[in-house]
Amino acid sequence: MKTQQATVPLRAALLGIGTVGSGTFEVLRRNQEEIKSRAGRGITITHVADLDETRARRIAGASVHVTTDARQLIGNKDIDVVIELIGGCGIARELVLAAIDAGKHVVTANKALLAVHGPEIFEAAQRKGVIVAFEAAVAGGIPIIKALREGLTANRIQWLAGIINGTTNFILSEMRERGQSFDEVLKEAQRLGYAEADPTFDIEGVDAAHKATLMSAIAFGIPVQFERAYVEGITRLVAADIRYAEQLGYRIKLLGIAKRREEGVELRVHPTLVPARRLIANVEGAMNAVMVHGDAVGTTLYYGKGAGSEPTASAVVADLVDVARLASSDARHRVPHLAFQPGALRNVQVLPMEQTLTSYYLRLRVKDEAGVLAQVTRILADAAISINAVLQREAGDVGGAGSQHTDLIILTHEAQEGAMNSATQRLQGLPAVLAPIVRLRKEELA
């Protein structure tokens, strides 16, 4: 009986056969021998549920049972694992919970669902003794969840920082290389298929925040708590700041950052100045990369395609192989969903943004007159914010050749966001300051 079990293929039901779903189908078909000889048993998608039955039949072929009724499918006793590739928090949540309730293992690429409803889902899975695997939910094909949960188990993880949204990284790369505006590049990205028709979730940083939230839970052993994440996108970035940052030796990247501090955990997504010599600063186009710093291992980095049909399918299938190996094992010996044993999850506070520590890039458009720099530095000094570098540039793009305006660019040392908020407000009140102050955060990632 036991020996027989290993040779029986794992039977999966696929919910939603779009881009990633058809990639998963294709990879399982093309590499079936390779996968079987690694997993010790075959993996086969026996059922597909999709509202577009015709498309589903075309992709899945005649041997697969196709239905439009995912709800009905889930209870099927001939299914071992449910692959959820529908996305979003509506029907996907309902189906994942129903699958768990029916005792099925779940493999999902749905970061929004897990970031927002993670506690409910993981608790249900724990109770039922089933696996919820989600390598595909973060950074596509890069095995970053496995690295965090298993590869770095020896470490107290101090921080992680990642380029985990390909759309925004493509836009930032293009803005820098071509000196174009955000709006121009976004249009091009949409034309090329790198950005969706409604790109809000990507460009406002929400997608990156979902992924950063999941990684923070696994890295620090805290519950998934998306509602506590600080989220700032790239829509207000202008080419001038990308250029100034470059002159100071930095690149601007949209980073998802999670940092352990004594008082709690920082969890934030925002455009970030990164030293140009760091590997992560050189990750261009739609590629993803995640840096993880552990106390024993030091800094590590994981790089690859963060989206797309087959790269994401690579992660889905890796999870299926793990399920194939572990499905018959005692649940206590499996890697815990969130890396730490459920009882060991610590309710560490995610710090309010005002309490986070980072360094800053400030750009002030000021009157070109004596004493302005003194007023600015005085305000920063009063707030105990120390200055790392100052750059003064004629603001050619506003006043023309005879301009009375100057761009004053300041890099600060580390300061608390709250203190910087007050200082910025005071700076904004100076009569010499002519436009809204641009403020970006900077991380050395050393």
Q: Who's near 191: CB < 8 A, 6+ residues apart?
A: none
Binding segment for its own copies (CB under 8 A), chosen from 65-73, 75-83, 323-331, 349-357, is 323-331
Of 144, 166, 151, 152, nearest to 290 by C-alpha is 144
C-beta of residue 238 within 8 angstroms of C-beta of residue 232: no
Q: Position of tokens 């990247």? A: 253
4 interacts with its own copies by CB under 8 A: no
In this chain, which of 47, 93, 104, 146 binds its own copies, going by CB under 8 A? 146
In this chain, which of 10, 12, 17, 39 binds its own copies, going by CB under 8 A? 39
Binding segment for its own copies (CB under 8 A), chosen from 229-237, 313-321, 381-389, 410-418, is 313-321
Binding segment for its own copies (CB under 8 A), chosen from 82-90, 181-189, 277-285, 417-425, is 277-285
Binding segment for its own copies (CB under 8 A), chosen from 134-142, 251-259, 264-272, 410-418, is 134-142
The residue among 156 and 378 lying less far from its own copies, judged by its C-beta, is 156
Q: Is 77 known to be catalytic?
A: no
Distance CA 275, CA 299 (A): 15
Helix locations, 300-347, DSSP H: 309-326
Residue 46 token pair: 């026996």
The catalytic residue among 111, 146, 211, 442 is 211
294 interacts with its own copies by CB under 8 A: yes
The residue among 136 and 203 lying less far from its own copies, judged by its C-beta, is 136
Which x/- pattern, by CB under 8 A, does the window 148-187 give for its own copies? -xxxxxxxx-------------------------------
Distance CA 252, CA 306 (A): 19
Strand partners, 251: 274
Of 335, 293, 288, nearest to 314 by C-alpha is 288
Crossing angle between the packed helical segments 19-30 and 309-326, to the nearest 10 degrees? 60
Distance in Å, CB of 378 to its own copies, minimum: 41
Residue 69 token pair: 């009724």
C-beta of residue 223 within 8 angstroms of C-beta of residue 134: no
336 interacts with its own copies by CB under 8 A: yes
Strand partners, 270: 255
Distance in Å, CB of 113 to its own copies, minimum: 22
Residue 232 token pair: 């700032």
Binding segment for its own copies (CB under 8 A), chosen from 164-172, 177-185, 265-273, 289-297, is 289-297
Residue 148 token pair: 């965090």
341 interacts with its own copies by CB under 8 A: yes
The residue among 152 and 351 lying less far from its own copies, judged by its C-beta, is 152
The residue among 87 and 151 lying less far from its own copies, judged by its C-beta, is 151
Triad 276, 233, 391: Cα angle to 5°: 45
Distance CA 139, CA 141 (A): 6
Distance CA 83, CA 407 (A): 53
Query: Where do contacts with its own copies occur on this chain (CB under 8 A)?
Result: 2-3, 6, 23, 27-28, 30-31, 34-35, 37-40, 135, 140-143, 146-147, 149-156, 221, 279, 282-283, 294-305, 310-311, 313-318, 321-322, 325-326, 328-330, 332-336, 339-341, 344
Catalytic residues: 211
